[in-house]
Amino acid sequence: MKLRLPTVEETDKLGYRVPVSIKAELDQLAADCKREKLDFALALAEGLREMAKAIRKELDQRRKRGPKAGTSLTPEASSNGAGK
């Protein structure tokens, strides 16, 4: 008998800051999923995977278009105007 067991990808923690309202909503969703015995971490990971694809697509499109007229490709040395 051959079992088709799913592979489990290693996990790691994220350390990004998000608005408090989003964190509160995610915490509530996690609690709701736990109560319903749903895998919140898996659902969140799949959502993040889709978001990563969307961000990558946007970045690729911007690179293909090139910089907009009047924009600089190098960051400013100071944003407070002291260097002007």
Burial of 79 (0-12, 13-18, 19+ CB in 10 A): exposed
Express each pLDDT in 7-61 by its tens digit. Answer: 888 989 989 999 999 999 999 999 999 999 999 999 999 999 999 999 999 999 9
pTM: predicted TM-score of the whole model, two decimal places: 0.63
Whose structure tokens read 């499109």?
Answer: 61
Q: Which is higher by pLDDT, 79 or 54?
A: 54
Q: Residue 79: CA atoms inside 13 Å, Cβ hemisphere, count?
A: 2
Ranges of each domain in the chain:
41-65
* Residue 46 to residue 71: CA distance in whole angstroms: 35
Q: Are 73 and 67 in contact (CB under 8 A)?
A: yes
Q: How many C-beta neighbours within 10 Å does residue 66 have? A: 9
